[in-house]
Amino acid sequence: MEKTIMLFSYAKINLSIDVGDVMKNGMHPVDMVMQQISLRDEISIRFTDEITAEAIDSFEVNPDGFQIYLRTNLRYLPNNRYNLAWKAAELMINEYGDRVEPKGLIEIFIKKRIPVAAGMAGGSGNAAAIMHGLNAMWELGLSLEELCEQGAKLGSDIPFCLIAQAKSNRVLPENIRYSDIASTCARARGTGTELSKVRPLKSSILVVTPRLSISTRTVFAGIDECTISDRPNNDKLCRALRYGDKSAAYSEMINVLEEFTLKEYPEVAELKHFMSETCEGAKKVLMSGSGPTVFAIFDSNNQAKKYAATFKEKSCFAFWARTMI
């Protein structure tokens, strides 16, 4: 017995981020708008009751009779439970493995294109794809709401990745693809898992990631000591997106995490300033997530392509993409 599925795991950018005071549980409440873009990883999943010799040397046996074998095209990424995709497979086994017969090997290959630790939910998207893939292959019949509830146990960005991938992967079950909550753009509140659909932005994007890794935990720990000079009005942002008023939307695209990251990591501040000064025609330049990625919004694909080539010459990871609608 063998089943396979291939899914696309898309990157996201933050059109806005606001952060409240730290709560008793140590987390910060957020209010932000996330948008899926066309940059994507490829996730291949194979489920079989036959174990290969290569897998025997590489997997850990789950007590319930499942095995997980994970590989990526990047040698420095973990291929065990330190990888969020592995944790997603383990979660699905623990929650739903008793419904699956026969048990067997979950073989995962991740072809990474999204930069690692770059503020674009690359790892969260990979985990979401694993959950979608196993739900489909095992014919569990889970709703998108059920998947989001489970995904929130692993990370606050995973529910958004689940609803956005549902809109963009045609191989998924119909109840997932046509779910009322499926959307490539959403407002996230609370711990980031309380989602409401937002009309997507239709634009071209230049994304530039310097050769720098920034810990999200470090940024959130440091933001409490910062004075926030400007905050987004996400009600106005969502309303502007709904009515297609891009000018009004741009004015509310603010990321308060810049207050910490741009001061602590001058490379990111310099990159944002340089992009703002040199990217002619850019409607907005903003940091995504906790950094270090900075993106610029354009009306034209040609403009985004032009500047992607320019920044690649400066040894940055740079590409152009479209927002997914």
* pLDDT surpassing 80 at residue 19: yes
The whole-number average pLDDT for the span 276-298 is 97
The pLDDT of 170-192, averaged and rounded, is 97
Bridge-partner residues for 70, per DSSP? 108
Residue 88, pLDDT above cutoff 70: yes
Structure tokens at 6: 């291939």
Per cent of the chain over pLDDT 90 is: 86
User: CA 238, CA 15: separation in Å to the nearest integer?
Assistant: 10
pLDDT, tens digit (0-9, with 9 covering 90-100), for 25-40: 768 899 999 999 999 9
What per-residue confidence (pLDDT) applies to 60?
Answer: 55
CB 162 within 8 A of CB 151: yes
Measured CA to CA, the distance from residue 146 to residue 163 in angstroms comes to 11
How confident is the model at residue 162, as a pLDDT?
98
pLDDT at 61: 53
Query: What's the confidence (pLDDT) of residue 43?
Result: 98
| Mean pLDDT value across the chain | 94
**HSE, side-chain direction, 13 A CA sphere, residue 234:** 20
Residue 57's pLDDT is what? 52
> What distance in Å separates the CA atoms of residue 288 and residue 134, rounded to the nearest whole number?
30
Average confidence (pLDDT) over 262-272: 96
pLDDT tens per residue across span 193-232: 999 999 999 999 999 999 888 998 899 999 988 999 899 9
Q: Tell me the Ramachandran region of residue 302: left when phi exceeds 0, alpha when psi lies from -120 to 50, beta otherwise.
A: alpha
- pLDDT tens digits, residue range 98-131? 999 999 999 999 999 999 989 999 999 999 999 9
Question: First CA to last CA across the chain, in angstroms?
Answer: 37
What the block records as the tokens of 266 is 């001058």
Lowest mean pLDDT segment, chosen from 40-44, 93-97, 311-315? 311-315
What's the confidence (pLDDT) of residue 259? 97
Residue 35 vs residue 61, higher pLDDT: 35
| Dist CA 172 CA 65 (whole Å) | 26
* CA proximity to 7, closest of 185, 174, 138, 166: 166
Q: In degrees rounded to 5, what are phi and psi of residue 115? A: -55, 145
Amino acid (1-letter code) at residue 50: E
Residue 73: predicted pLDDT: 98
How large is the angle between the packed helices 158-168 and 122-137, nearest 10 degrees?
60
pLDDT recorded at residue 58:
53
Query: Is 12 a residue of the active site?
Result: yes
Compute the distance between CA of residue 134 and CA of residue 140 in angstroms, rounded to an integer: 8
pLDDT at position 133 is 98
Per-residue pLDDT, averaged over 149-165, amounts to: 98
Confidence band for 23, pLDDT divided at 50, 70 and 90: confident
The verdict on whether omega for the bond into residue 159 sits within 30 degrees of 0, i.e. cis, is no
Write phi, then psi, for 95 (nearest 5 degrees): -85, -35
CB 151 within 8 A of CB 115: no
Confidence of residue 251 (pLDDT cuts 50, 70, 90): very high
C-alpha dist (Å) from residue 284 to 207, 230, 239, 295: 12, 16, 18, 8
Which one of 12, 167, 272, 284 is the catalytic residue?
12
pLDDT greater than 90 at residue 56: no
Q: What is the pLDDT of residue 53?
A: 56
∠ CA 265-266-268 to the nearest 5 degrees?
75
Strand partners, 40: 10
Among the options 31, 87, 157, 272, which is catalytic?
A: 157
**Beta pairing partners, 294:** 208, 287
For the chain, list the domains and their CATH numbers: 2-197 (3.30.230.10), 204-322 (3.30.70.890)
* Residue 178, pLDDT score: 98
How sure is the predictor about 63, in pLDDT bands with cuts at 50, 70 and 90? Answer: low
Using one digit for the tens of pLDDT, what is the confidence trace for 130-155?
Answer: 999 999 999 999 999 999 999 999 99
What pLDDT is stored for residue 25 in this prediction?
Answer: 77
The answer to whether 157 is a known catalytic residue is yes
Q: Quick one: what percent of the chain has pLDDT higher than 70?
A: 95
**In contact, 104 and 49? CB cutoff 8 Å:** yes
